[in-house]
Amino acid sequence: MTLYIRRESSKLWKRFCSEISTEIGLLAENWKYLLAGLICQYIHGLAAKGVHYIHRPGPTLQDLGFFLLPELGQERSYISETVFTSVFLSFFLWTFHPFILKTKKIYTVLIWCRVLAFLVACQFLRVITFYSTQLPGPNYHCREGSKVSRLPWPKSALEVLEINPHGVMYGCGDLIFSSHMIFTLVFVRTYQKYGTKRFIKLFGWLTAIVQSLLIIASRKHYSVDVVVAWYTVNLVVFCLDKKLPELPDRTAVLLPVISKDRTKEENHKLLNGNGVDPADWRPRAQVNGKIDSNGVHTDNSMNGA
């Protein structure tokens, strides 16, 4: 048992080292795209913080989803965040599965270049929408009377450029588009195309639907924010997927199938010499006889008798 564990550990380590060398080469070629995508994530965070400064709390708008779905309450707002965190972590870990598992269909660097491109395009549209029209936030901390419904004006430029994790959780004004749904739908669509487990694909779409309902029930977004995210994200991903170069499919690199006949021929080559062509193995015509199509020798003298 110990020998088996040691052998498997050695194979896993070799696989990990081989994958590391491959991904480092890809990272050296594509680090600019990854860096640009991360910078855009930071800019998106700054934009969401900026709209919080100009947010004006007011009465909650009339919403069909608020009438149809029961309100979870402020004390149960963690449910939707827990579902989103599970989706995010699951997808993040899946993108690194080629380092461990034998079934490799994607390259980690290339898949994140593609995912970041989808996120940046959707978030760019999101920033345009919530700066075009400011709506009173439906979340509990965004309503009238809350101390954090508006951010106090910054005292320095450094304060504007700082991203506070607390502010990310308790932002206001970044509406007409749900940020959580952007990430969720991009992740689900990416696994739909590059994943291998059908059960996980179905479960991913079901989770996206549940996440949508939980966002509305938690009063974190209006129903229109979720609806816009559903058709916009799918449309953006569909269009960009046609423009971006297709990722190389690692499962397509297979060994050639060798038939039994070819294997026999190779064995004959090894036995009779590499210089012998298999076509020369056919029987030779005899001086006093001939060979029919079945390879049976027929003597002319016997035929005459």
CA distances from 126 to 119, 237, 269, 297 (A): 10, 14, 67, 85
Token code pair at residue 39: 């910078």
Considering the candidates 44, 52, 55, 180, report the single residue annotated as catalytic. Answer: 180
Is 297 tagged catalytic? no
CA distances from 139 to 142, 144, 214 (A): 5, 10, 13
How far is residue 34's CA from residue 113's CA, in Å, rounded to a whole number? 6
What is the CB-side half-sphere exposure of residue 271 using CA atoms within 13 A? 8
What dihedral angle (degrees, nearest 10) is formed by the CA atoms of 139, 121, 187, 34?
Answer: -120
Token code pair at residue 238: 């569909």
Helices and strands of the chain, counted as H and E runs: 11, 2
Contacts of 237 (CB under 8 A, 6+ apart): 118, 185, 186, 189
Is 55 tagged catalytic? no
Considering the candidates 221, 241, 261, 280, report the single residue annotated as catalytic. Answer: 221
For residue 299, list its beta bridge partners.
289
User: Cα angle at 273 between 271 and 278, to 5 degrees?
Assistant: 85
H/E stretch holding 167 reads helix 165-169
Token code pair at residue 2: 């110990």
How far is residue 300's CA from residue 305's CA, in Å, rounded to a whole number? 9
Q: Which residues are annotated as catalytic? A: 180, 221, 225
